[in-house]
């Protein structure tokens, strides 16, 4: 029996059940993004994101243990490969950086829930999120590459995949591929409402993913639009997304609210690198109370309708929740 929509995917274990509860604000809803790089002996601070690091695989388990020790149960992994090409083939390689990181993480810190970003931009020589036709991203030619990447992540140990490319039809392509290979229970967390935002600047440094020409406005959304975001979220749910995401978060809380009212699946929000960098920079200048602003901004995102919060402040927020400062 072929089933695209399987609500039981979100009931498969305690971690994901707690992650998607409809009304709460606790540590189980936090997801911590991490950057894994090739090499050895690397724990290198990202200049535009103080307190965030690139980790080589030998340093990765200790970083994971720190996350788990803070009470954060889920991580979102981004990889920095040592080889890039026109189609981003390192993204689905069995010995790719994410695939090795997953196997290592599952072995060393199995209690964490591993989510992987599925996109081509870190792996292509041109920095765009898919295969090119001239200077345009070829939507349909990119779909099998994304599906192949998602499958390779799941086979390496990913608990959930999160496509961030904004290609039309990619959720359906990934769902079909996973189902055909015996992974019908693996959830998809779709970056459904991802805007072409200036708030991504520090991330592009962190992930070495800036496009070598042009921009991403032909596939990421125009920030003037809200109804388009609802359409995107509904399409992804129809194609089999188990969770949907709005990105960025703080400047798009109206969108989070509208999307949360339109869909019947959990809604995530990604508090992106630029949001983190602005708070961190003001705090380092002594202009704001960092902890207070972090708590207030996180509460506002949940209040807008987010069920899951992806944030570089996940470890700190977990501590503040334990302290009763937020929750």
Which positions are catalytic?
194, 247
Q: What is the DSSP secondary structure assignment for residue 133, as one 8-state letter?
A: E
Q: Residue 33 is inside which H or E element, if any?
A: strand 30-37
The three-class DSSP label of residue 309 is strand
d(CA 121, CA 129): 4
Structure tokens at 214: 């042009």
Nearest CA to 79 out of 67, 70, 92, 69 is that of 92
Residue with tokens 């999120």: 129
The full DSSP string for 36-55 is EESSSS-EEEETTEEEEEEE
State the maximum Cα–Cα separation within the chain, in Å, rounded to a whole number: 60
d(CA 236, CA 243): 9
Residue with tokens 């695989």: 57
Q: What sign has the CA pseudo-torsion 302, 307, 313, 317?
A: positive
Structure tokens at 300: 């506002």
Nearest CA to 244 out of 317, 319, 187 is that of 187
How many residues make up the chain in this entry?
Answer: 327
């Amino acid at each position: 029996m072929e089933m695209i929509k399987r609500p039981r995917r979100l009931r498969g274990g305690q971690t994901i059940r707690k992650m998607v509860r409809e009304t709460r604000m606790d540590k189980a809803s936090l997801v911590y993004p991490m950057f894994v790089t090739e090499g050895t002996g690397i724990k290198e601070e990202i200049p535009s994101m103080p307190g965030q690091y690139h980790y080589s695989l030998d340093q990765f388990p200790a970083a994971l243990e720190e996350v788990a020790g803070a009470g954060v149960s889920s991580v979102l992994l981004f990889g920095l490969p040592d080889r890039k090409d026109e189609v981003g083939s390192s993204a689905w390689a069995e010995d790719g950086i994410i695939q090795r990181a997953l196997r290592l993480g599952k072995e060393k810190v199995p209690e964490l829930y591993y989510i992987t970003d599925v996109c081509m931009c870190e792996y292509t020589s041109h920095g765009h999120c898919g295969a090119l036709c001239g200077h345009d991203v070829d939507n349909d030619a990119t779909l099998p590459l994304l599906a192949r990447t998602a499958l390779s992540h799941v086979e390496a140990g990913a608990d959930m995949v999160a496509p961030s490319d904004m290609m039309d039809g990619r959720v359906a392509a990934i769902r079909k591929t996973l189902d055909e290979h015996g992974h019908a229970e693996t959830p998809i967390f779709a970056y459904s409402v991802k805007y072409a935002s200036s708030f991504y600047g520090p991330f592009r440094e962190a992930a070495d993913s800036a496009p070598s020409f042009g921009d991403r406005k032909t596939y990421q959304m125009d920030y003037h639009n809200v109804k388009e975001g609802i359409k995107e979220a509904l399409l992804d749910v129809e194609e089999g997304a188990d969770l949907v995401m709005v990105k960025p978060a703080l400047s798009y809380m109206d969108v989070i609210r509208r999307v949360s009212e339109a869909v019947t699946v959990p809604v995530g929000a990604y508090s992106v690198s630029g949001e983190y960098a602005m708070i961190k920079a003001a705090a380092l200048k002594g202009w704001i109370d960092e902890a207070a602003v972090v708590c207030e901004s996180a509460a506002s995102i949940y209040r807008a309708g987010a069920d899951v919060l992806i944030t570089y402040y996940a470890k700190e927020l977990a501590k503040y929740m334990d302290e009763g400062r937020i929750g």
